[in-house]
Amino acid sequence: MRYEKQVAKKRKVEQRDQKKRQAQTIKRSHLLSIPEYAGVGLHRETGVRSLTVDRAHADEAFVSQLRYQDVYTAHGAVLSAHPLPSSSQTLLTQVGGRDSSYVFSTEGDISHSSRERWPKALDDSSLVHYTAFPSLAMSTSVWPAQDPQKLLACTSGGFENVFIGSLAHDDRVSSPEIKLSVGNDETTLWDSAISSTGDSAAIAGSDRIIHLSMEGRILARLPEAAYSRSVSWLNASTIAASSGKELLLWDTRTRGSSSRFSCRSAITGVLTVPSSGGNQLLLSTNQNVSLQDTRMIRAKPVLEFGILHEGPQLIFDVNDRDLVALGHKEGRRDEVRILSLRTGQLLKTLEAPEAAKKKRPTQLIWREDERGVEFLQACIGERIGRWCWNSDDT
């Protein structure tokens, strides 16, 4: 009996000491097993710290751990997907029969980390129709807010080819309140973008660039901007749009325009760099992607990437840490590449599922889940997927 008491007492002392050691022990982070992040930590410990080098290493480490996950598989090709956090739904634009298209909502927020929020069985009962288009939807834009409330959709053809509506109302999607006809039957509206204020939008088309209010009133037409296939807002009052081989800047307050940058071939994409404070733009042609700065006196690219791509538009997006994701065709295969504007280098070619390697992405966009963890969302054929960090690795 005495021996058993001594053993029990000894065991309690050992358990108490073990808890103390665990409380005082700092566990090695999983991130330090990644060479790039370990190097950042070493710089800090030795006092030799370079902010530029640290950021470059952190970007490389982030991209190196991106893995593909399937999120949703539809019955037809998906053109775009926009999450609606307030209603825990996602708005999908999908191709229908005979070049028609339609927009519907489905339960589940695509930006959420849990797959249980998506319906297990995909059938018509889980879909709520928002609207249908008699022609192919060329562009769908949402108000770029944390919880978007407005939608702008453009289609090909001149009869009711612009749709404006609210996204969330009493936890359900409402039908478009405004339908407009812009141009004629031969007009193609290539791209659209809603301003950061949410009160107006810009549309790029084969005829001209149109500035309109979200109430459906056309504020200005820019006839000198012909063959415009991409548009972006440089800031809350300045529209940046392609016009053939030149970039056109339009001030919505003074109604003044200027051509700032000229490319060797037609511009296929225009995108404002979020971290630049409205000073830098990404321009793409079928031969390259260039970074332009509006503060430069001589209009020469700050950076230039030799990227070849087919088609009238380049699908790409850039995030706050200056990482560019773009869809690139390499031979017969379509690839998704990540470029860094900080280093001017290609960081990685992302691996896509085998069934999607021969299909071109129709949407690439950087998003954040409910924890603030960034991921790259993609619509490829009938799939909606994302490249993200595995939950076991974070």
Q: How would you write the chain as a 3-class SS string?
A: CHHHHHHHHHHHHHHHHHHHHHHHCCCCCHHHHCHHHHHHHHHHHHCCCCHHHHHHHHHHHHHHCCEEEEEEECCCCEEEEEEEHHHCEEEEEEECCCCCEEEEEEECCCCCCCHHHCCCCCCHHHEEEEEEECCCEEEEEECCCCCCCEEEEEEECCCCCEEEEECCECCECCCCCEEECCCCCCCEEEEEEECCCCCEEEEEECCCEEEEECCCCEEEEECCCCCCCCEEEEECCEEEEEECCEEEEEECCCCEEEEEEECCCCCCEEEECHHHCCCEEEEECCCCEEEEECCCCCCCCCEEECCCCCCCCCCEEECCCCEEEEEEEECCEEEEEEEECCCCEEEEEECCCHHHCCCCEEEEEEEECCCCCEEEEEEECCEEEEEECCCCCC
pLDDT bin (cut points 50, 70, 90) of residue 120 is: very low
pLDDT > 50? residue 116 = no
Q: Provide the residue range defining the domain that includes 116.
A: 71-388
Q: Are 316 and 326 in contact (CB under 8 A)?
A: yes
pLDDT > 90? residue 289 = yes
Q: For residues 57 and 199, state if they share a domain.
A: no
Q: For residues 155 and 51, state if they share a domain.
A: no
Report how far residue 89's alpha carbon sits from residue 117's, in angstroms, rounded to the nearest whole number.
9
pLDDT on residue 175: 66
Query: The tokens of 161 are what?
Result: 């080819």
Q: How far from 176 is each of 104, 130, 132, 165, 333, CA to CA, in Å?
A: 12, 7, 10, 4, 38
Mean pLDDT, residues 55-74 taken together: 84
Residue 341 burial by CB count (10 A; 0-12/13-18/19+): exposed, middle or buried?
buried
pLDDT on residue 53: 64
Q: For residues 139 and 234, state if they share a domain.
A: yes
pLDDT bin (cut points 50, 70, 90) of residue 99 is: low
Task: Decide if 2 is inside a domain.
Answer: no
**Strand pairing category for 383-388 and 67-73:** antiparallel
Q: For residues 44 and 127, state if they share a domain.
A: no
Report how far residue 119's alpha carbon sits from residue 66's, in angstroms, rounded to the nearest whole number.
25
Q: For residues 131 and 249, state if they share a domain.
A: yes
Q: Which residue has the higher pLDDT, 247 or 84?
A: 247
pLDDT > 90? residue 144 = no
Q: Are 161 and 187 in contact (CB under 8 A)?
A: yes
Q: For residues 35 and 109, state if they share a domain.
A: no
pLDDT > 80? residue 89 = no
pLDDT on residue 122: 46
Report how far residue 154's alpha carbon sits from residue 315's, in angstroms, rounded to the nearest whole number.
17
Task: Decide if 8 is inside a domain.
Answer: no
Place of tokens 């390697």: 357
Q: For residues 39 and 115, state if they share a domain.
A: no
Task: Decide if 4 is inside a domain.
Answer: no
Report how far residue 242's alpha carbon sits from residue 313's, in angstroms, rounded to the nearest whole number.
11
| Least confident segment among 17-21, 102-106, 248-252, 315-319 | 102-106
Report how far residue 291's alpha carbon sits from residue 326's, in angstroms, rounded to the nearest whole number.
14
Task: Decide if 20 is inside a domain.
Answer: no
Mean pLDDT, residues 63-83 taken together: 85
pLDDT on residue 189: 84
- What is the tens place of the pLDDT at every residue in 212-271? 998 889 998 886 666 788 999 999 999 999 888 888 898 988 887 777 888 888 999 999
**Which of 64, 81, 109 is where one domain is finished?**
64
Mean pLDDT, residues 363-373 taken together: 86
> In the beta sheet, which residues pair with residue 368?
374
Q: What average pLDDT is seen over the chain? A: 79
Q: How far from 329 is each of 230, 251, 277, 326, 333, CA to CA, in Å?
A: 19, 35, 31, 10, 6
pLDDT > 70? residue 148 = yes
pLDDT on residue 112: 67
Task: Decide if 381 is inside a domain.
Answer: yes
Q: Which CATH number characterizes residue 146's domain?
A: 2.130.10.10
Share of the chain above pLDDT 70, in %: 78
Share of the chain above pLDDT 90, in %: 18
Q: For residues 81 and 104, state if they share a domain.
A: yes
**Which of 64, 86, 107 is where one domain is finished?**
64
Query: Could you tell me which residues come within 8 angstroms of residue 170 by beta carbon, excluding any fewer than 6 positions away?
Result: none
**Global pTM value:** 0.80
pLDDT on residue 121: 41
Task: Decide if 348 is inside a domain.
Answer: yes
**Which of 64, 90, 114 is where one domain is finished?**
64
- What is the tens place of the pLDDT at every residue in 24-39? 776 655 555 555 455 5
pLDDT on residue 32: 54
Q: Which of 251, 152, 163 is nearest to 198 (CA)?
A: 152
Q: Which of 103, 97, 45, 48 is nearest to 79 (CA)?
A: 103
Q: For residues 324 and 358, state if they share a domain.
A: yes
pLDDT bin (cut points 50, 70, 90) of residue 317 is: very high
Report how far residue 64's alpha carbon sits from residue 70's, in angstroms, rounded to the nearest whole number.
19
Task: Decide if 16 is inside a domain.
Answer: no
pLDDT > 90? residue 283 = yes
Q: Which stretch, 32-46, 177-191, 245-259, 373-387, has highest mean pLDDT?
A: 373-387
pLDDT on residue 240: 92
Mean pLDDT, residues 151-162 taken together: 78
Report how far residue 358's alpha carbon sits from residue 242's, in angstroms, rounded to the nearest whole number.
29
| Least confident segment among 108-117, 180-189, 270-279, 373-382 | 108-117
Report how far residue 5's alpha carbon sits from residue 364's, in angstroms, rounded to the nearest whole number.
67
pLDDT on residue 394: 42
Mean pLDDT, residues 307-327 taken together: 90
Q: For residues 176 and 246, state if they share a domain.
A: yes
Q: How many domains does the chain have?
A: 2
pLDDT on residue 376: 94
Q: For residues 127 and 50, state if they share a domain.
A: no
Nearest 10 degrees: Cα torsion 293, 264, 140, 390: -70
Task: Decide if 196 is inside a domain.
Answer: yes
Q: For residues 215 and 190, state if they share a domain.
A: yes
pLDDT on residue 239: 93
